[in-house]
Chains A and B, each alone.
Chain A
């Protein structure tokens, strides 16, 4: 019944988790401590796992013969629906952790809303993912505080990371019209509640180490929900999709 608007919403959830997981894969062997190798891969694994669940459902609703792998590996950037935030390059550890924290605060609030979705499949996937996102948020908010309240250098890098990424947070606090409708039907998370929870989480985490909260980000010409991405996504997909594209008949 909600099939039409639900598909782009599932893609928003699935693509965001997948692209973020892909970024975390790039850290493999390059983290500042072995504990962080483990944690970054752990979080990435959770996100790619969630992406698979959302894309499975999206593929079923699409019913055009494509499966989750086809959606992940054979869609071009104009068809990807992920948040612009998560496609941003890793940068230094402060950029990665700030990106993670902004996303986790959004993700956690969305999943909380979705755990009570009137769509049982959505509620089920969200309930499982919420446990993982709770851990992700705890970890990334702690790192924001460690870096923000650590040394002069870590604070300087933290402030630079916030400046770099803040413009993309507009997407975390503004849902599309479709999402508002889906939320009214009890299927999607209420974008207003998500935005409030996000701002509250950022304010509380930043306040603990006296990081300034910038003015709300303003409209940003691009829009991940519409498949209008930054220049980073095309390269990310070129790498991620290389094998299935180069060997279209292969079975892996």
Chain B
């Protein structure tokens, strides 16, 4: 899970000679691959961009629990239920790591979560698609976590130290989830009934394109990429990562015995890559704007959880204060 379309607020990437001495020193550190740490000086736009990106990433982990939570009560065996519960637990943990990394930048977790609930902050577009069958649990693990890993493996080298280190820990768990997801599909395809195989193909048909959209807009429509790349927050472009994902995923798709819902998908020996069809960018921008199939439900559920749980958090604070007073007396 991760962030798409992160605004940098920067129109033009400055050359070294345009920079103040502080900015220049900062950029030289970046160019020398020296990690930026919380106490180091950094341009305000770098700080704000990272807050946006890491909070989006954290929100994605938390909202991403919902499509799976939709099936955890209906998992078809004890083993599958346990796997899904462990995965959801990991995701809550990833959310916590990421909010902590974000807070090293001086942002406040509750403020950023309030932005999510008011629709100001984004999360990955993929979680606005519904999970309609058990096969979706496999497809989400394989395709969605798979796309997240392609992105996150690169982010292990991102220039901000706390974010890079969070990614190292998260990637290990995500790879495990992805293999589990694939194994769910493989079991259904190889040992299952025709009804189950149909379920798998249907899940792939519905989630294939949304998974490709997880890499964000194509490079020509990605105005914030240049600055993010110069700051080495991003290490590779959206299109490069998307291509890598497709190249590594198509053989897995073939091994399953399934097809992609893309008549233009074919190996291009000249490029050494798979060619693929056009992404429905209108759909992508609508979903990002809040008009996807589940945007209302997802944000509504999260808002209800936090607003409806306010009395619990208030009780915890009040109780802690009373205990402190008691101990002090």
Contact = CB atoms under 8 A, between A and B. Distances in A.
A binds B: yes
Interface in A6-63: 18, 21-22, 25-26, 28-38, 41-42, 44-45, 48-49, 51-52, 55
A251 B314 contact: no
B146 to A, nearest CB: 21
Contacts of B310: 32
Contacts of A147: 312, 315, 319
B305 A244 contact: no
B134 A32 contact: no
A68 interface: yes
B318 interface: yes
A252 B322 CA distance: 51
A150 B318 contact: yes
Nearest to B195: A247
A73 B77 CA distance: 7
Contact of B92 (A41, A153, A154): A41
Interface stretch (A164-172, A199-207, A235-243): A235-243
Nearest to A149: B319
B76 A146 contact: no
Nearest to A44: B85
A45 B85 contact: yes
Interface residues of A, number: 49
Interface string A54-79: 01000000000000110011000000
Contacts of A26: 73
A35 to B, nearest CB: 7
B21 interface: no
Contact of A250 (B76, B184, B316): B76
Given A33-B313, A250-B195, A242 B96 contact: no
Interface in A222-250: 239-240, 242-244, 247, 249-250
Given A239-B74, A247-B195, A252-B77, A34 B315 contact: no
A123 to B, nearest CB: 22
B302 A29 contact: yes
A139 to B, nearest CB: 13
B191 A251 contact: yes
B1 interface: no
Interface string A89-113: 0000100000000000000000000
B78 A150 contact: no
B211 interface: no
B92 A37 contact: yes
Contacts of B134: 243, 252
A252 B187 contact: yes
- Identify whether the interface residues of A are mostly helix, strand, loop, or mixed: helix
Contacts of B81: 21, 25, 48
B251 interface: no
A215 interface: no
B78 A250 contact: no
- Identify whether the interface residues of B are mostly helix, strand, loop, or mixed: helix
A32 B307 CA distance: 8
A150 B74 contact: no
B76 to A, nearest CB: 4
Contact of A28 (B72, B191, B306, B316): B72
A157 B308 CA distance: 13
A140 B16 CA distance: 57
Nearest to A70: B77
B73 A25 contact: yes
A35 B96 contact: yes
Contact of A69 (B78, B95, B96, B196): B78
B5 interface: no
Contact of A93 (B78, B95, B184, B309): B309
B92 A34 contact: yes
Given A34-B95, A34-B96, A252 B80 contact: yes
B82 A45 contact: yes
B89 A151 contact: no
Contacts of B318: 150-151, 154
Contacts of A41: 85, 88-89, 92
Given A25-B81, A30-B69, A93-B309, 16 more contacts: A18-B78, A29-B66, A29-B305, A32-B308, A38-B96, A41-B92, A42-B89, A45-B82, A49-B82, A69-B78, A93-B312, A146-B319, A153-B314, A157-B311, A240-B74, A252-B76
23 contacts: A29-B305, A30-B304, A32-B312, A33-B309, A34-B96, A36-B309, A41-B85, A45-B82, A45-B86, A48-B78, A52-B82, A147-B315, A149-B322, A150-B314, A151-B311, A239-B73, A239-B74, A244-B76, A250-B76, A250-B188, A250-B192, A251-B188, A252-B192
Q: Which 8 pairs across A and B sit closest by C-beta, in order of nearness?
A: A32-B309, A150-B315, A28-B69, A154-B315, A32-B312, A243-B76, A252-B76, A251-B191
